[in-house]
C-alpha cells in the first residue's frame, strides 16, 4: 500500500485535467456561459485534442492510483474500486460529448455516464468524510460538493446557468477529500512505523 504515491497520482490527474481544460476555455471562452458543462469542449475540433487528453490522462492516473491503494482496510478497497469506476466513466463521458451531432440517444448515454460518475464520487466522499477522516475541512469540502453537485443537476435541467462552474467546484471538492484522506492515512502509517 502506497497512500502517498496514490495521492500524488490523484493530484497529478487533477492538475493535468484542469490545466488542459483551461486551454480549452482559453480557446473557446463561450463554454463558460452556454450552460453545457465541461463536455461542451468535446464538440469542437479546436478543443477536441486538449479535451480528450485531459480525460485520458486523468483516467490513466486514477487507474494507477487505484492499483496501489491496497485492500488492508475495507474503505481502501472501496476507494480503489471507486477510482477504477470513475476512470472508466470518464472515458465514457469523453466518447459521448453532450450535444454531439444533436443525437438524443448519445446525450442520454452521456448524461447516464456523468450522473453515475458524480454519484460514485459523492458516495465515496461521504463514506470517507463520515467514517474514515472526519474533520471540519472535509466537512466543508463535502458541503461544497453537495451544493455544487445539486447546482450542476439544476443547471442540466435548464437552458441557462453555470453548469461548468458548478462541475469544476464539485470536482475540486471531491478530489480534495480523496487526496486529503490518502495523505492522512500515509502520515498516520508513518507515525506508527516510527513509534515502533
Domain of residue 48: give its range.
3-30+37-186
Taking the C-alpha atoms of residue 133 and residue 129, their distance in angstroms, rounded to an integer, is: 5
Residue-wise pLDDT tens digits, 44-96: 999 999 999 999 999 999 999 999 987 678 899 999 999 999 999 999 999 98
Q: Is residue 128 part of a domain?
A: yes
Among the residues of 28-162, which ranges form H helices?
A: 45-68, 74-95, 104-127, 136-156
Per-residue pLDDT at 167: 95
Domain count, the chain: 1
> What pTM value is reported for the model?
0.89
Residue 1 per-residue DSSP state: -
Per-residue pLDDT at 47: 95
Q: Is residue 196 part of a domain?
A: no
Per-residue pLDDT at 12: 96
Q: Is residue 195 part of a domain?
A: no
Q: Is residue 66 part of a domain?
A: yes
Q: Is residue 107 part of a domain?
A: yes
Q: Alpha carbon of 102 to those of 87, 99, 106, 113, 143: distances in Å?
A: 26, 5, 8, 17, 35
Of the chain, the percentage scoring pLDDT greater than 90 comes to: 66
Amino acid at each position: 500500500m502506497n497512500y502517498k504515491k496514490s495521492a500524488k497520482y490523484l493530484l497529478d490527474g487533477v492538475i493535468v485535467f484542469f490545466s488542459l481544460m483551461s486551454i480549452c476555455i482559453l480557446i473557446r471562452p463561450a463554454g463558460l456561459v452556454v450552460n453545457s458543462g465541461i463536455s461542451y469542449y468535446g464538440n469542437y475540433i479546436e478543443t477536441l485534442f486538449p479535451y480528450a487528453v485531459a480525460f485520458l490522462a486523468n483516467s490513466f492516473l486514477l487507474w494507477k492510483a487505484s492499483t496501489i491503494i491496497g485492500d488492508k482496510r475495507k474503505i481502501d478497497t472501496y476507494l480503489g474500486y471507486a477510482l477504477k469506476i470513475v476512470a472508466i466513466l470518464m472515458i465514457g463521458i469523453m466518447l459521448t460529448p453532450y450535444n454531439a451531432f444533436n443525437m438524443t440517444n448519445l446525450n442520454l448515454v452521456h448524461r447516464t455516464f456523468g450522473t453515475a460518475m458524480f454519484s460514485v464520487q459523492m458516495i465515496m466522499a461521504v463514506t470517507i468524510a463520515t467514517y474514515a477522516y472526519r474533520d471540519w475541512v472535509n466537512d466543508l469540502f463535502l458541503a461544497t460538493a453537495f451544493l455544487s453537485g445539486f447546482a450542476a443537476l439544476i443547471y442540466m435541467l435548464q437552458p441557462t446557468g453555470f453548469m461548468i462552474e458548478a462541475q469544476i467546484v464539485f470536482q475540486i471538492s471531491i478530489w480534495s477529500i480523496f487526496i486529503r484522506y490518502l495523505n492522512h492515512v500515509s502520515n498516520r502509517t508513518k507515525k506508527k512505523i516510527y513509534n515502533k
